[in-house]
Structures are given as structure tokens and as C-alpha cells.
Amino acid sequence: MGKNKLRKFAELEGNPLVLQYPFGVVRQSGFPLKGRWREEFFGNSNPIVLELGCGKGEYTVGLARQFPDKNFIGIDIKGARIWSGATAAMRDGMKNVAFVRTSIELLEYFFAPGEVSEIWITFPDPQMKKVNKRLTGTRFVEMYRRVLAPGGIIHLKTDSPFLFTYTSMMTGHNGMSIIESTSDLYSTLTPDDPILNIRTHYEQQWLDRGLTIKYLSFIPGDGKSLEEPPGADDIAPDTYRSYSRGYIECPQQLNKEQ
């Protein structure tokens, strides 16, 4: 392991915004903040918003700057990625940001039923061949429903035509309430919409090539078990090769780490 990674891991250990609990400990003793995030970590009663697969934490921190009346928690398994956002948030004294280093599949070990108000899924791997690993597949959305409060919202932001089509079919087949759906985000929303104020370098690469970003927000609700949509296996696969995620291009919100 390189010295730079070792340094980042050491700094994460001392960062109070980052929580790292081995799964064995959580499974045996439970997670102490489950059901008590607002009172014991944030010290307020504001809504909790998750970003799943947060990577370097740019989106988590960017949203937290725009919405100080909400608490934002980034989830990712890679500590070296989390370091960037966690370091920036601590440096700037942000009180409405946290990061949890864990697998998304373990979400229910960390959050109680109804504890989360919104979930953001930003540019995930579309997992075109593995629906069980797809973050908007029914397996994961069933899990999200168990931690979301009534009326809780899921946001998907993606460059993948495949994932956008699949998620649209899945939500439609299961009768979910759609809040916003667009296959061309930047030509649909008004320029002052806060969603447009956070733009990753990854997004900009696509926009510069004349391609589009897709956005879908929906309320998964509760009730009957979810079903995979008929015809999902026939969705045309994406034909491009994804760029790496990169940094966010909003220096007014998050300075790039050197």
C-alpha cells in the first residue's frame, strides 16, 4: 500500500465526521447511532439524506452546503475515496455532514426504519448483466423502503441510458410515484435549480461531447413486494465506456484537494 493511502487512512481515523465500524462488531454489538443519528451525532431534528456510493464525497458535501437545514451522510466502502470529502467538510467546520465506511448492502445495520428522508444515487455502475447488484434494482429498492420515512424520495442521476430506462420501467411497473423524470437534465430544469449547481467533472465530459445526463426522482412507497419489470432483459445495453468519476467542478462549494 502506498504512503499516500496510509496517510489518508491515518487521517480518517482521526476525523470525527467519519465512522468506520468492522462488520463483525456491528453484527455482534449493533451500531450505536442507529435510530439516534439526529440526536446524538448531528444534535438537531433535521431530515437525513444519504448518498450511496459517494466516492470522494463531492456530492455529499456539495448538497450539504446548499441545504444547511438537512443532514447528509455519504456511504462508501473505500476509505481512500471518502478522505477527500471528509477532509474538506472538517476543514470548513461543517456540522451537517458525516461519512460511513461500509457496504451499501449493510445499510439496515446503520439506519433504523423510517430514519432516512432521501437517498441520492449518483452515477452508479449500471450493472447491465447483474440485476442483483444494480442499485436501482428491486432488491436494493426494497431495502431502501425499509429505512426511508413515509413519502421518502430516491434520486437517481446517471449518464447511462440503460440504467435510466431500466429504472423508469421498474418504477412504472411497480406503480411508484414519479416526482421528476428527464432524459436531458440540463435542458429541462431551470438554471437556478439547486440540482444543477453541483456538476462533476465526469458530467462535464459528457456535456462537452453533446451527450446528456438523466435524472429520475421517485417515491418507492411501501406495501407489496416489488417485481422486476417485464421486458427489462431486452433493454439495449450502453455502447460507451464510462469515464472515471473525477472531481466536482464547483470551486465555490468544494475546493479541489491537492
Give helix 58-66 / helix 79-91 axis angle, nearest 10°. Answer: 30
DSSP state of 104: G
Residue 192 is among the residues annotated as catalytic for this protein: no
- Asked if 119 contacts 59 with a C-beta cutoff of 8 angstroms, the reply is no
Residues 6+ apart with CB under 8 A from 168: 181, 216
Q: Which residues face 153 on adjacent strands?
A: 118
Q: Is 44 left (phi over 0), alpha (psi -120 to 50) or beta?
A: beta
Q: Are 53 and 78 in contact (CB under 8 A)?
A: no
Q: Is 72 helix (H, G, I), strand (E, B) or coil?
A: strand
- For cell 474538506, name the residue: 88
Q: What is the Cα 168 distance to its own chain's centre?
A: 18
The set of residues, in sequence order, having a beta carbon less than 8 Å from that of 230 and lying 6+ positions away, is 173
CA distance 132 to 216: 20
Helices 79-91, 3-13: inter-axial angle, 10-degree rounding:
50
Q: Which of 92, 125, 192, 238 is catalytic?
A: 125
**Dihedrals phi, psi of 111, to nearest 5 degrees:** -135, 135
Q: Which sequence positions are flagged as catalytic?
A: 125
